[in-house]
Amino acid sequence: MNQQIDSLIKKAEDQKGDLIELAKTLISYQTPAPPARNTDGVQSWIAGFLHDMGFSIDKWDVYPGDPNVVGLLRGMDSAGYHSLIINGHVDVAEVKENEDWEHNPFHPIEKNGFLIGRGASDMKGGLACVLFAVKLIREAGIELPGDLILQSVIGEEVGEAGTLECCKRGYHADFAVVADTSDMHIQGQGGVITGWIEIKSSQTFHDGTRRNMIHAGGGTFGASAIEKMAKIIAGLGELERHWSIMKSYHGFKPGTNTINPAVIEGGRHAAFIADECRLWITVHFYPNETHDQVAAEIEDYINRLSDSDIWLRENRPVFKWGGSSMIEDRGEIFPALEVDPSHPGVLALTASHEEVKREHPVIDVSQSVTDGGWLFNAGIPSVIYGPGDLHNAHSVNEEVSIEQLVDYTKIMLDFIIRWCSGKKEQ
């Protein structure tokens, strides 16, 4: 096996030009989200590529024009050997007309040892490496004992959780690698949930009655929902400060768990007292927490605050959490992901990294979020591990080191073969 792997690693180096051309092909498909609904072309290309490599293909629309693709390469002894999911998303960050790109972001170029184009770092570069590694394995005639599942998903950039749909469809494995932007660190992540807090008055008042509800003797029980929302925003700030003092997680700077009042909507017309107001918040939480847990903490705190306010006590805030799409229903969830450094999959990936790079990989936490949380949430031990860095993700003139792409391909070659050739623990 060692000789076969060494031979493939040499081929990855010798054929790096083909690897870069594959990455350029993926980048050339224009798949920004928003606007989304534009991934069918690249997903059909990937489905054809995997089919030619001997994978059985499952392709289905998550949204019209945005299909998931899952390729399954059944192992020779699936029951006895490790199975592996490798996951990546084909949507990329949006590109606005006034961005100062040096060239067309979807006509990738090579410059000074870097591949430049939208998605080079996040994360078509990593996806290209995985596809190229599979191609080299299949061309070498290597038959894996364990199952290999490649998930090419949609929607990650706008919280549409194509990966969640894969989990709902029943795809499972002994270990999963999300080939997303991590600078080749082995990473876990915190989580994110968005939520709406809505206040609605039981009555609507003309603006001429404002004096009656704010001055002595007015005799009108009423209030502006906008002004009451300001009280709730202040309460969220108090809870956020409490979290920053009382909660921590190794690898995160103190206070990384935040409650961001992102969007506020309210009132109906200047001639009315505002009878409703909605606040859209984004909550970041630590890997050892769940989105249900932090949502419940926020609800409890705001409900206690409302108990202390005479008007809010009668006009209770209403909460709506999460959502399946920032585009469709203005909401999203990214579950957290905790890495167990002692898990056999993490140890095997560490060994493959060390074999190629001659150095121990960094094991830490991402400062962003990925679809890895959905795999972990489904009971699959998972890590984020891919080329590219967050400095370049979503950036103008997005780039990734070609040397890093080649190294990542070599590591994944080694890891796929060794992991899928390892016997399951009894």
- pLDDT at site 208: 85
- pLDDT at site 425: 83
Share of the chain above pLDDT 70, in %: 100
For the stretch 56-85, pLDDT in tens is: 999 999 999 999 999 999 999 999 999 999
Structure confidence at residue 133 as a pLDDT band (50, 70, 90): very high
Share of the chain above pLDDT 90, in %: 94
Determine the average pLDDT of the residues in 37-44.
98
Q: Which two tokens stand for residue 38?
A: 């534009």
Residues 118, 121, 124, 129, CA torsion sign: positive
Is 156 a catalytic site residue?
Answer: yes
- pLDDT at site 426: 62
pLDDT at position 94 over 70:
yes
Q: How many CA atoms lie within 13 A of 8 on its CB side?
A: 26
Active-site pick, 66, 91, 183, 371: 91
C-beta atoms surrounding 400 within 10 Å = 31
Q: How far apart are the first and last CA of the chain?
A: 23
Longest CA–CA separation in the chain, Å: 91
pLDDT at position 290 over 80:
yes
pLDDT at position 168 over 80:
yes
For the stretch 192-215, pLDDT in tens is: 999 999 999 989 998 988 988 889
Domains and CATH numbers, the chain: 2-189+337-420 (3.40.630.10), 191-321 (3.30.70.360)
Average pLDDT value over all residues in the chain: 97
Structure confidence at residue 91 as a pLDDT band (50, 70, 90): very high
Structure confidence at residue 1 as a pLDDT band (50, 70, 90): confident
Q: How far apart are CA 57 and CA 140, in angstroms?
A: 21
Q: How far apart are CA 166 and CA 178, in angstroms?
A: 13
Determine the average pLDDT of the residues in 160-185.
97
pLDDT at position 161 over 90:
no
- pLDDT at site 377: 96
pLDDT at position 353 over 90:
yes
- Judged by phi (left if over 0) then psi (alpha if -120 to 50, else beta), residue 178 lies in beta
- pLDDT at site 157: 97
Residue whose entry in the numeric block shows the structure tokens 């229903």? 329
**Inter-CA distances, 126 with 69, 271, 307, 353, 356, Å:** 16, 55, 51, 15, 17
Active-site pick, 122, 147, 156, 275: 156
Q: How far apart are CA 136 and CA 12, in angstroms?
A: 8
Q: How many CA atoms lie within 13 A of 218 on its CB side?
A: 13
C-beta atoms surrounding 85 within 10 Å = 25
- pLDDT at site 109: 98
Sequence-distant (6+) residues with CB within 8 A of 24 are: 108, 115, 117
Q: How far apart are CA 25 and CA 124, in angstroms?
A: 9
Determine the average pLDDT of the residues in 174-203.
97
Q: Which two tokens stand for residue 386?
A: 């891919």
